[in-house]
Structure formats: structure tokens, C-alpha cells
Amino acid sequence: MKKALSIVLALVLAISCLGILSSCGTEKGGQTDKTDTAKTVKVGFIFLHDENSTYDNNFMKAAEEACKELGVEYLFKPNIPESDECKKAAEDLVDSGCNIIFADSFGHEDFMIQAAKEFPDVQFCHATGTKAHTENLANYHNAFASIYEGRYLAGVAAGLKLNEMIEAGKFTAEEAKMGYVGAFTYAEVISGYTSFYLGAKSICPSVTMEVQFTGSWYDETKEKEAATKLINDGCKLISQHADSMGAPTACETAGIPDVSYNGSTQTQCPNTFIISSRINWAPYYKYIIDCVQSGKQIDADWTGTIATESVLLTDVNEQAAAAGTQAKIDEVKAQLEAGTLHVFDTATFTVKGETLTTYLADVDSDADFQGETEVIVDGYFHESEYRSAPYFDLRIDGITLLNEEY
Amino acid sequence: MSNANTKVKEPLFHVVKRIGMPTWQSWLIRIVSVVFALIICGVITVLMTGENPLQVYATIIKGAVGTERRIWSLAQNTAILLCVSLAVTPAFKMKFWNIGAEGQVLIGGLATTWCMLNFGDKLPNWLLIIVLLVVSIVSAALWAVIPAFFKARWNTNETLFTLMMNYIAIQIVSYYVLIHSNPKGSGFIGVINPNTEAGWLPKLFGQQYMINILIVIFLTVFMYIYLKYNKHGYELSVVGESENTARYIGINVKKVIIRTMILSGAICGIAGFLLVSGTDHTITRDTAGGRGFTAIMVSWLAKFNPIYMILTSLLIVFLQRGAGEISTVFNLNQSFSEIITGIIIFFIIGSEFFVNYSIKFREKEGK
């Protein structure tokens, strides 16, 4: 019993010493709002990891920026796993007075939906999810960005680099092969590497690509190994979906140009980093805060675009990129914004040698895995229009998947 | 005390075993050590972050028990950790180093998942839950008995064996999750039967975690009686003390090893069942969440006594959950709260040394 009592005492002591002080607990927040014109908003953020993950850090930075700019209070809950803990965290944030709850990881979705059903007066927003348009909950929303456009532009930079290397006589046009490190054979990844490939192909028509999957959303070692394998396979340029420094580091070591993702890796890879695309979440955060303040309904699916500044490209690294990259990107970007150019234009790719005129995509998230929505209209694949999360999952010609088991 | 009074050069200090220390004195040592831990944590807090340490402690307490929901959440997490700790305890008492609880829990959870997906719409819920419980117990027990069989038969090293079995279990779960993932290829099963709630443990008295907690309370009492008053419990502690003695007095050592690991695995299976059916309603490779390893600490801290384990698991979960709040309130990285938790636990473990031993300095007649 000694042991038991000692532990009880330890706890009692801790509580009695400090319980008195618990009333002095502070709350972090932006400048507490002075505006009483609109509904008071307090946003609770749920993150899968903490700021050491580039993925979560991208969300955290944007959240701070948006909340501070609009002067609303906010709370962060980092390191929340994709389990019942996510629901508990959401409930806890509601208890702390939050009226908007945001979660950043795909696996959080089902638990956010459960919490949304429990608290109909609180708005639940979830990045990368797929279920808002079929759940029919007034207070549950998905968001994503048309990052495929950003990747297309990054692909343009890759194409220019390939052309430069061909002209310099480093390899022939037929040998122009890129490598791509993906996570899973999931639509988000497929959409990402295909748009990147099409961007490069629009500049360098003979290009081909190999994709190596890691079977993990974040695994530095595997990503590095995959990039190294692709380089040894004769790939002249590498890009990646995954978030770690694995692929960029492998490229810097091998001296192979790299198109990065989620932010610049120029400081670590000064000689090989060309450009990077990333999603900027601040516009979405401002949008949802504004909606709640002014009593408007938040869209069930919100897709950020280049126009909303949700899809951003980093500065071009002049040291590694081909001459004239920035100018060409600006030109193509203007075409995308004007709607004269579409990333998934069916005239630019074939599937098993044939040009597609129709395709039923699996846009709803039921368990049958059957396509039900016609997405090829007016000569192009309408990505991220019927829901915010990508659903482009075609295997187009010119891209070889090295390991499909993932 | 029985010190050699030789003229040989005496070391600066030496350690002497204490016998018969009064209870109040051992408490005093423990309390003082916790006070020291808090003081050191306070100093570190000020040096590293500049925050007021008292506010940090207050936040820990508020984070763990500040609202009714947090108290339930604390109780539920304590229950699961305690359940895994109860599972490893009989094996440890037998000196069978089962560090495979993580994998055993996952296998139990996987069996539950499999049944929920396949029988979710075929059986009435009460029957389904019984099936889930039985299947998870049986599968985890089978998983756990593999290293026990090899140990009993060929005297293999159970530490390595059970450890490696964890990775196999994690990979099996990853594979299962991938082929059943929804949406396809995403690597997530998602919540199973979200609309019918088939195979979900029902709420009791309006509380989602009540059944989890009651099951673990029952298991705690069971384990206490099993270890203390049951012949099996006696046999396994004899095997733990000395296999030769056990053999000499006619205990079938192989049988005891296998029987104990079946029990250990079965309780891990229940933990997996509680996690999937009673808490998460889904499975990922992280479902066990390292509890299989934390449980080792819980069990050792409590010296394998199931009743004390309620307190040690509560202590660890209390610190974990309270510490999580630090990152929310003070915007400090989670690693900081882990440092504080580590220091407190280190001092609590360290205090046991001073309870059991005293340090005698050279030429001093300290008592």
C-alpha cells in the first residue's frame, strides 16, 4: 500500500499546491477582438503533427497569419492522431468556446463528421476530405485547392530545364525521363503527378516519367531511397508528392534537378532546387471566419485557386532553373487564369493509346468504388469541381508506375 | 549495520540496504522527491521558456481534469493503458519478457475490425459484440502463444521474438488497411459502420466510455485475485523466481509458460477490442499508440500489483494529457511537456532507491 499512497500523495500534492492557481491559466490568442460589430469568432485548429512536419507547418503558419490579420482568437491542438482522439480534441475545443473547428489531415474526417453531428451550431471544416458533399450536414465542410494547376506550372519549369539539358547535349530528347516519388496510388497523388507530367510535356514533348510509390505519407528514408532508385534508373529530373526532405536531399547529393513541394528547399539544396508549389491555406481560413462573422453559409466544398492565391509557387532558383523560366510560368499562369488553357485537356494525353471523350469518376465516397460522375466535358477533365478533393485517377500514357502495390 | 570495519581504503560512500523503514519515513522520501522534481521542472521551465512554472503546472492539471469531458477522456485513456498493463503483468511476473503487447493489441483490434466489416449487417448488435470479443481474444491469444511455444519448446529468446512480432503485426494491419481503404488507395479504412453503428460498444448511462471502463475494472480485480489467490498465479511466480525450483516441486514449466502467455495475449485482445469497438471504430497501424511499451513502465512502477497499476497508469496518463494542454495554451512544442513528464517519472522511480537503500559516507555516522 506504500506504493499506492506515495503516488496518491504525489498527485494530491501536485494538485493541492497548484489547483489554487489553475484560475490563472492563460489563453493564447491573437489580439482579442475589439470589434463588437460581428459575431465573435474563435477558431480551434487540430493538426496531425506539430511544426516539425512541413505539411502541418504550412497549415499552422497560414492559421496564425489569418487569425492575427482578422484579430480573432484561436487555439492550436497539435499531435492529434487520426482516431477517436480527434473527436475528443474537437469536443474539447468546443468546450473552450471555439465556434469553428478545423482539422488538417485526411484521416481526421470521420471523427470530424461525428463531432459535427454532435454540435450542430459549430462549424467544422476539414482539409483534403471527400465526404462533405454527400454527408449533407449544414455545418460540415471540405476544402482543397486546385494544386494540380500549381504542379502543372512547376512541370513547365521542369520541361524548360529538360530542354536546356537536351540542348546542352547532356542527353537526347528520347532520353528525357523524369522521376516522381509518390505516396499511395491515391487520386490526390495521381492528379498531382499527372498534372506535373503534362506541364513538362507541354514544353518538352518527348518526355516520359517513372513513378515510385513509398506506401507512406511521410517517410524520409523511403522517399530518399525511391529518389535514388529513380536517379539510378536514368531519370534526369525528380519531383515528389511526399513532404519530407528525402527526395530533395537525394537530388542534391546526385546533382539532379528537383522540383519540390510544400515550400522552398533552396537553402538545403541550392544547386538542384528549381521551384516548388504549395497550397496557401490563409485565404480559406479568412473565408470561413468571414462567413461565420457575417452569418453566411460556408460552402460544403471550397476549392482554392490561383486567383484566390491558394495555389502558390515559390521563387525560381536562378542557379538551377533554365533561363526564362519565370517569364514562361507567368505566361502559362495567365492562360490558366483566363480559362484558355486547361491542365487536363484531353487533346494533350492518351490512355492506352486512345483519346478520352468520356469518363465516370468516383466522386462520391461510398464503398462501391464505382465511378458515377461524368467529368469530361468540353474537351477537358473537370478536376476539383464536383468536390474539392482531387478525383483524377487515370493512368495516362507516358507515365510508368514502377510499383503499383501501394 | 553489517559493515566491514577493515582498514582497507574505504570508498567515498557506499550503499546499504535499508530494512524496516517506518512507513511515514518512506512517504516522506517520496514526497520530497516529487517536490524536488517539481522544483527542477520549474527551473527548467523558466530557463527554457520563460513561462511561469506554476502556471504551467496549473495548465497540466486543467488539461487533465479541467472539464467533465477531460475527466472522462482521462478515465478512458487510463482504462486502456491499464488493460494493456494488466495483460503484460503475468508474463513479467513469470520473467517472460513480453514486449509484444503492441502487436498483440493490434491483432485483437484487427480481428475486431474484420468481424465488424464482414458481419456488421448480418448479426444483431448484441450477438455481434460477443462475437467481436471472442474473436479478438482468441486471435490475440494465438498470436501471443507463438513465441511462448517456441520458448517452451526450444528455449528461444522471447524478448527478441515478441519484439519482432510487433513489426509483423503492424505490417499486417497496414496491408489490411490498404486493401480495404476508403476512398480507394488513401490508406485509411475510415470509421466502420458509421450509420448503423454495428459492432460499436453502446453507451451506458449516456457515457460512451463507460463499458470500456467497467470491463477494465473487472479485469483488474480478476488479475489481482488471479495473481494473489489462485494456484496459477502462484505457479507463475515460482517459475519467475526459479525454473529449477518450479520443476523440483512438480510444476510443469512449459505448461505454465504457454498458459500465461495465452492469458497475456487474451487480455491484449480485449484491449484491441476496446480500442476498435469501444473507442476508435476504425483501425490504423497506430491504433495501439505505443501503449504496449508504456504498459511495461506502468507494470514495473507498480511492482506487478494490479491495484497499484490503477495509480501508475493514472499518473502517466494524467501527465500525458495534461502535458498536451501545455502545447495548446503556451504554444510550446510537445517535446517540452515530454521533458517535464520524464523528469517527474524519473524522480518517482528514483525515490524507490532511497526508500530501499541508504547511502553511507566515509567516516560519517549518518543514519
Each domain of chain A, given as residue ranges in start order, spans: 29-146+282-293+298-303, 147-278+312-338+394-401
CB contact under 8 A, B62 and A22: yes
* Residue contacts between A and B (CB atoms, under 8 Å): 167
CATH topology of domain A29-146+282-293+298-303: Rossmann fold (3.40.50)
Domains A29-146+282-293+298-303 and A147-278+312-338+394-401 share a fold: yes
Minimal-distance CA residue of chain A relative to B30? A6
For position A219, what pLDDT does the model report? 81
* Predicted confidence (pLDDT) per residue in B103-141, tens digit: 999 999 999 999 998 888 888 889 999 999 999 999 999
Provide the grid cell at A308. Answer: 484566390
pLDDT value of position A385: 85
Instruction: Name every residue whose Cβ is closer than 8 Å to that of residue B359 and which is 6 or more positions away in sequence.
Output: B13, B14, B15, B16
Residues forming a β-bridge with A377? A380
Kindly determine whether residue B187 and residue A27, on different chains, have CB atoms separated by under 8 Å.
Answer: no
Cβ–Cβ gap A110/B280 under 8 Å: no
d(CA B267, CA B87): 5
The class level of CATH for A147-278+312-338+394-401 reads alpha beta
pLDDT in tens, A2-15: 555 555 545 544 55
Q: Is the pLDDT confidence value at B367 over 50?
A: no
Q: What torsion do the CA atoms of A129, B109, B86, B92 make, to the nearest 10 degrees?
A: -110
- Interface probe for B, chosen from A5, A6, A47 (most Cβ of B below 10 Å), is A6
The CA distances from residue A36 to A30, A31, A39, A100, B198, in Å, are 16, 14, 7, 18, 47
Contact B27 A6 (CB under 8 A): yes
User: What is the reported pLDDT for B208?
Assistant: 83
Task: Give the ipTM.
Answer: 0.84
B38 Cβ under 8 Å from any chain A Cβ = yes
Q: Which residue of B has its CA nearest to A91?
A: B69
Condensed to tens digits (0 to 9), the pLDDT of residues B176-192 reads 988 888 777 677 888 88
Is A19 in contact with B58 (Cβ distance < 8 A)?
yes
Task: Write the CB contacts of A189 (distance below 8 Å, at least 6 apart in sequence).
Answer: A182, A183, A213, A241, B185
Q: pLDDT tens digits, residue range A266-296?
A: 888 888 999 999 899 999 999 999 899 888 8
Taking CA–CA distances from A94, the nearest residue in chain B reads B69
Confidence tier at B198 by pLDDT (50, 70, 90):
confident
Task: Report d(CA A183, CA A219) in Å as an integer.
Answer: 9
- Closest in A25, A83, A406 to B62, CB measured: A25
Using CB atoms, pick whichever of A21, A51, A369 lies closest to residue B184: A369
Q: Which residues 209-238 on chain B approach chain A with CB closer than 8 angstroms?
A: none
Give residue B331's region: left, alpha or beta (phi > 0; psi -120 to 50): left
Residue closest to A88 by CA, chosen among A115, A119, A64: A115
Question: What average pLDDT does the segment B11-29 reach?
Answer: 81
pLDDT of residue B331: 79
Side chain identity at A332, as an amino acid letter?
A: V
Identify the band that residue B338 occupies on the pLDDT scale cut at 50, 70 and 90.
Answer: confident
Which residues of chain B does A107 touch, with a Cβ-Cβ cutoff of 8 Å? 188, 190, 284
Inter-chain residue contact A187 with B35, CB threshold 8 Å: no
* Mean pLDDT, residues B194-214 taken together: 86
Q: What is the pLDDT of residues B314-332, one digit of tens each?
A: 988 998 888 888 888 887 7
Exposed/middle/buried for A348, CB within 10 Å: 0-12, 13-18, 19+? middle
pTM (predicted TM-score): 0.84
- Cβ within 8 Å of A, B 40-99: 54-55, 57-59, 61-62, 66-67, 69-70, 73
* pLDDT, position A18: 43
Partner A, chain B 335-354, Cβ-Cβ below 8 Å:
348, 351
Interface contact flag, A21 B58, Cβ < 8 Å? yes
Residues in chain A with pLDDT < 70? 1-38, 365-369, 405-406
Contacts of B354 in chain A (CB under 8 A): none
Rounded CA gap, B74 and B71, in Å?
A: 5
Tell me whether B28 touches chain A (CB under 8 Å).
no
- Average pLDDT across chain B, whole number: 88
What is the C-alpha to C-alpha distance for residues B232 and B228, in angstroms, rounded to an integer? 9
> Pairing relation of β-strands B13-17 and B357-361?
antiparallel
Q: Do B289 and A81 touch (CB under 8 A)?
A: yes
**Are B30 and A95 within 8 A, CB to CB?**
no
Contact check, Cβ <8 Å, B183/A365:
yes
Question: Residue A16: its pLDDT value, please?
Answer: 46
